[in-house]
A and B are shown apart, each in its own frame.
Chain A
Amino acid sequence: MSIYVMRRLLLAIPVLLLSSLVVFGLMRVMPGDALTALMAESGNVSPRELQKLRKDLRLDLPYHEQYLHWVWQMVTFNPGRSVFTGDAISTSLKKSIPVTIELAAMAIVLGVALAIPLGVLSATRQDKLSDYIGRLVAISGLSFPDFWLGTLIITFAAIWFSWMPPLGYTSLWESPWRNLQQFLLPAAVLGLRLSAATMRMTRSTLLEVLREDYVRTAWAKGLGERLIIYKHALKNALIPVVTIVGGQLGTLLAGTVIVETIFALPGMGRLTVEAILFRDYPVVQTNVMLVAATLVTLNLLVDLTYAWLDPRIRYQ
């Protein structure tokens, strides 16, 4: 197992290097730079002054020097400063990462908590009313875009109940109740999408497992329904479900961009999108690398979870 983990970690190095080249190259291909964005509402800066500012921010260096400088910063865990705001990137990340982690974690919990029972219900009551309702929920979750659902919820909550989540951000440690008010709706929006695919996968794999010989044997032995489904069938049906949940983490992180914007949460998604819009190279590059590293790690964890779920799986 440890050799397998080491091998996977070593394989992550070329993946991350390739990602770094792609993100660095793409940012340079895009027209405009951070100074252009900064001056955008001002519009009376001479080319001479822009040149001077570019030099101050090292934007005038050849691309390979900029790249090597940045890679060195990443290797030494010193991502530098935003060229747009001048803030230390590590400081911005310290503030935004907990927001996105909390949002994503709540979305996963809500999504899975909705998906698994619904999936089980649908599978065990195949072609009954509860199955149809479960499938309808799943299709809705897949069909409703996050931005639409988020806007709808916030608008109608305001119109019907004269309520919306408190604006701003309060950390969980500062005020758990206020934090919950701020995070519950955005997490539910993200969670619904996650639950849709997960529910459908739970249903289909459980239907498959319920037709296995060992389940039929369990029924024949007179075991209770709950025991058969939750202890014997569901655990084996969960492997593809875990794959689906793991595979959706990327989508979930992408979804945070929209949801964080609608619910005014200062997370990684908003930070990254604004940095892209303003061509804030160091911030975009650092954030993308962080997401890439996170996804590599999560994929590894998902793979390792298989072994826990199914002891027959061995890693070498």
Chain B
Amino acid sequence: MSTNDQAPGGTRQAMKRRDFLKRAGWGSVGVTGLIIGASRSPALAHPPSPYPSWTPASDKPPKRGGLLTRASAWDPPVLDPRLTNSVGLSQIATLVYNRLLRYPFTDEAKGSADLTLKGDLAESWEGSADFKTWTFKLRQGVKWHNVPPLKGRELVADDIKYCYEAYAQEGVQSFTFQEIDGMETPDKYTIRIHLKTPNTMFPQNVAEAVTTIFPREVLEEDGDLKQRMIGTGPFILKEHERKVKVVLRRNPDYFEKGFPYIDEYRILSTPDAATRLAAFRTGQSDILGLQSLADVETLRKTNPKAVVQEVTTVLAPFGLNLRADKPPFNDVRVRRAISMAIDRQKQVDTLFEGHAMLGWGIPYFYWQDELPSASDLGPYWQYRPEEAKKLMAEAGHANGFETTLFYYEYFPQMTSQIQLVQQDLKRNLNIELKITKQDYTTYFGRYADGKWDGTAWGFQTGYAVSRDERTYHYMHSKSPKNYFRVNDPVVDDLATKLRQTPDHAEQQALTKKIVEREHDQVLRMWMPYDAGFLIWQPHARNIGQLDLRGNFGYGSSTLARLWLDK
């Protein structure tokens, strides 16, 4: 049994085995339909589950007080948000710090996919006509935590300017903030940000969980932010004992009066998945993430009152990363052949118990309203081994070739998933895939350096919510976040144009074009994924899972609205 605490991003869905068998009949009809050229049922690209994919806020009057605990796999490597975007840090930082803007919390959202921007430290914002200048009006009276050296000092516009300059200067946020050409603070509560190039989506970028506002005093006194975390957020960091616990206590001076509801939030470092599960079973942990439906069903035998929400899989975080700038993968026919030779549905059926998405890289709601069907993903995402063979022959590789793949096992099914790909490629295209499993640091060092040939099991980082991050930042040829090394002038043009487009409908259309281009050219070969389930104790309220914002990971800030019905 495994918990999905370590999933780097995205989310997922599931169904009961019996339900799956029932639906398999309908599924086979759909598959037949696909074979004869008809469109498939959308359910096959992303099957439904017996659990709801959205849990709205409680309509009961909230109660103040109580202690929330969670057994967590993540230990923050450092407390300095300039040095890491890790989820281990974000689970704390998003509750201690604030951002300029944020996405809706569970009690405000209309559904799990509600991404309407809300003010956090800013109460209003507007862009210039050319979208090169953005002006943010700050809330007045926001106080830093009442601990030395801040002692409840008021937050002002200069704090934001200092922080963004520090982010731009060094560290993991530099690409985002180096986009800033200059900043002005005409008064204490106004910050005007001038960008080097127009960006209609800049406000989304300063709503990302990793763009937290830290105090200048700590950085200036300590030289870094590794030891102390003092913010303006709903919780004050009371205790951080590495590998043991993080204790956050309610900030009585929080600018949103009445929040947070709970008095204390304890995150207990628990690296082992079975132990986290046992902790939930015995009531030592209030929240749990589980990867598979079978695990959920087993848990509900001992904890029948536990509340389960399926986490909607809005994107695939993992896929086959081909070295597309070198032969043989620089030939689009080879990439298409490989994609068509992989039976993704088999992976869904066997590894993910019939419940996973087939694989796409940009959140679906940025390019269409409904979850994509298999046919929405284009011809090269379908399993068509005969056509794949023909394409390989056309590309001069009728007898296949040898190549390599290296990976790190992010979740238990991954090794089996890669082995299925290996079998498919051998059987259908006579491609010999030599697989090497590596530890995290070795894998990441090699992957990020780009000094590798052949293929890797690639990933996209998990924190990003915004359309801009998921398109321009992750796919533009000049972006350091472009791990799949997409180097396609059409995508570059579309992603740049997207940043200059304010209209939502046009943004959707442009994003769809990027997705279509990606799938047509097989620029990133996404693989099936299932984001799993969020489970909580029956007394927890306002804890519904939001898409792309795991509410005990990068989306932890929503816990400010959680309350305990005890």
Bound pair (A, B): yes
Question: Which A residues fall within an 8 A CB radius of B?
Answer: 30-33, 36-46, 49, 52-53, 84-87, 92, 95-96, 151, 154-155, 157-159, 162-164, 166-169, 261-264, 266, 270-271, 274, 277-279
A40 neighbours in B (Cβ, 8 Å): 86, 440-441, 444, 448
Leading 6 A-B pairs by shortest Cβ distance: A32-B445, A42-B172, A158-B278, A32-B441, A42-B85, A266-B243
Question: Which of A49, A53, A158 counts the most B-chain CB atoms under 10 A from its CB?
Answer: A158
B473 neighbours in A (Cβ, 8 Å): 44
Given A43-B461, A159-B281, 4 more pairs with CB closer than 8 A = A38-B77, A39-B444, A41-B461, A41-B462
Contact of A43 among B224, B271, B481 (CB under 8 A): B481
Contact of B268 among A46, A95, A167 (CB under 8 A): A167
Determine if B542 is an interface residue (Cβ-Cβ < 8 Å): no
Chain A residue nearest to B224 in the complex (CB): A86
Asked if residues B245 and A168 are in contact (CB atoms below 8 Å), the reply is yes
Asked if residues B270 and A264 are in contact (CB atoms below 8 Å), the reply is yes
Asked if residues B271 and A36 are in contact (CB atoms below 8 Å), the reply is no
Determine if B527 is an interface residue (Cβ-Cβ < 8 Å): no
Contact of B274 among A87, A262, A278 (CB under 8 A): A262
A46 neighbours in B (Cβ, 8 Å): 174-175, 480
B174 neighbours in A (Cβ, 8 Å): 44-46, 49
- Tell me whether chain B's interface is mostly helix, strand or loop, or mixed: loop
Q: Give the distance in Å from the alpha carbon of A36 to the alpha carbon of B450 in the complex.
A: 13
CB distance from A101 to the nearest CB of B (A): 16
Question: Which of B243, B244, B277, B473 counts the most A-chain CB atoms under 10 A from its CB?
Answer: B243
CB distance from B298 to the nearest CB of A (A): 9
B84 neighbours in A (Cβ, 8 Å): 38-39, 41-42
Could you list some 23 contacts between A and B, CB below 8 A? A30-B441, A31-B441, A33-B441, A36-B441, A36-B444, A38-B83, A39-B448, A40-B86, A40-B440, A41-B462, A43-B85, A44-B85, A44-B473, A44-B480, A52-B170, A86-B224, A86-B227, A155-B274, A261-B272, A262-B272, A264-B269, A264-B270, A266-B269
Determine if B71 is an interface residue (Cβ-Cβ < 8 Å): yes
Q: Which of B527-555 contact A (CB under 8 A)?
A: none
Determine if B116 is an interface residue (Cβ-Cβ < 8 Å): no
Chain B residue nearest to A39 in the complex (CB): B172
Q: Which of B115-172 contact A (CB under 8 A)?
A: 170-172
Determine if B180 is an interface residue (Cβ-Cβ < 8 Å): no
Chain B interface size band reads 35 or more
Chain A residue nearest to B83 in the complex (CB): A38
B226 neighbours in A (Cβ, 8 Å): 85-86
Determine if B318 is an interface residue (Cβ-Cβ < 8 Å): no
A158 neighbours in B (Cβ, 8 Å): 277-278, 281-282, 302
B271 neighbours in A (Cβ, 8 Å): 261, 264, 270
B77 neighbours in A (Cβ, 8 Å): 37-38, 84-85, 278
Q: Give the distance in Å from the alpha carbon of A253 to the alpha carbon of B243 in the complex.
A: 18
Q: Which of B215-238 contact A (CB under 8 A)?
A: 224, 226-227
CB distance from B317 to the nearest CB of A (A): 12
Q: Give the distance in Å from the alpha carbon of A163 to the alpha carbon of B402 in the complex.
A: 52
Determine if B284 is an interface residue (Cβ-Cβ < 8 Å): yes
Known interface pairs A46-B174, A168-B244, A270-B271; A163-B282 also in contact (CB < 8 Å): yes
Chain A residue nearest to B301 in the complex (CB): A159
Q: Give the distance in Å from the alpha carbon of A261 to the alpha carbon of B75 in the complex.
A: 13
Q: Give the distance in Å from the alpha carbon of A176 to the alpha carbon of B270 in the complex.
A: 22
Determine if B242 is an interface residue (Cβ-Cβ < 8 Å): yes
Contact of A154 among B86, B170, B278 (CB under 8 A): B278
Q: Give the distance in Å from the alpha carbon of A264 to the alpha carbon of B276 in the complex.
A: 10
Q: Give the distance in Å from the alpha carbon of A218 to the alpha carbon of B420 in the complex.
A: 70
CB distance from A168 to the nearest CB of B (A): 5
Asked if residues B277 and A155 are in contact (CB atoms below 8 Å), the reply is yes
Known interface pairs A39-B84, A159-B281; A45-B171 also in contact (CB < 8 Å): yes
Question: Which of A86, A167, A261, A271 counts the most B-chain CB atoms under 10 A from its CB?
Answer: A167
Asked if residues B78 and A84 are in contact (CB atoms below 8 Å), the reply is yes
CB distance from A67 to the nearest CB of B (A): 21
B483 neighbours in A (Cβ, 8 Å): 43
Asked if residues B86 and A42 are in contact (CB atoms below 8 Å), the reply is yes
Q: Give the distance in Å from the alpha carbon of A209 to the alpha carbon of B243 in the complex.
A: 48
Contact of B440 among A37, A49, A96 (CB under 8 A): A37
CB distance from A57 to the nearest CB of B (A): 11
CB distance from B497 to the nearest CB of A (A): 22
B244 neighbours in A (Cβ, 8 Å): 168-169, 266
Asked if residues A162 and B440 are in contact (CB atoms below 8 Å), the reply is no
B173 neighbours in A (Cβ, 8 Å): 44
A263 neighbours in B (Cβ, 8 Å): 275
Contact of A33 among B172, B282, B445 (CB under 8 A): B445
CB distance from B297 to the nearest CB of A (A): 14
Q: Give the distance in Å from the alpha carbon of A45 to the alpha carbon of B171 in the complex.
A: 6
Q: Give the distance in Å from the alpha carbon of A45 to the alpha carbon of B77 in the complex.
A: 16
Determine if B437 is an interface residue (Cβ-Cβ < 8 Å): no
Chain A residue nearest to B444 in the complex (CB): A40
Asked if residues B481 and A44 are in contact (CB atoms below 8 Å), the reply is yes
B241 neighbours in A (Cβ, 8 Å): 95, 169, 266
A270 neighbours in B (Cβ, 8 Å): 243, 271
Q: Give the distance in Å from the alpha carbon of A159 to the alpha carbon of B300 in the complex.
A: 11
CB distance from B4 to the nearest CB of A (A): 15
Question: Which of B226, B274, B441, B480 counts the most A-chain CB atoms under 10 A from its CB?
Answer: B441
Q: Which of B363-410 contact A (CB under 8 A)?
A: none
CB distance from A154 to the nearest CB of B (A): 5
A32 neighbours in B (Cβ, 8 Å): 441-442, 444-446
Determine if B279 is an interface residue (Cβ-Cβ < 8 Å): yes
Q: Which of B263-321 contact A (CB under 8 A)?
A: 268-272, 274-275, 277-279, 281-285, 302
A162 neighbours in B (Cβ, 8 Å): 281-283, 302
Known interface pairs A45-B480, A164-B278; A31-B445 also in contact (CB < 8 Å): yes
Chain B residue nearest to A263 in the complex (CB): B275
A36 neighbours in B (Cβ, 8 Å): 441, 444-445, 448
Q: Which of B440-470 contact A (CB under 8 A)?
A: 440-442, 444-446, 448, 461-462
Q: Give the distance in Å from the alpha carbon of A264 to the alpha carbon of B72 in the complex.
A: 10
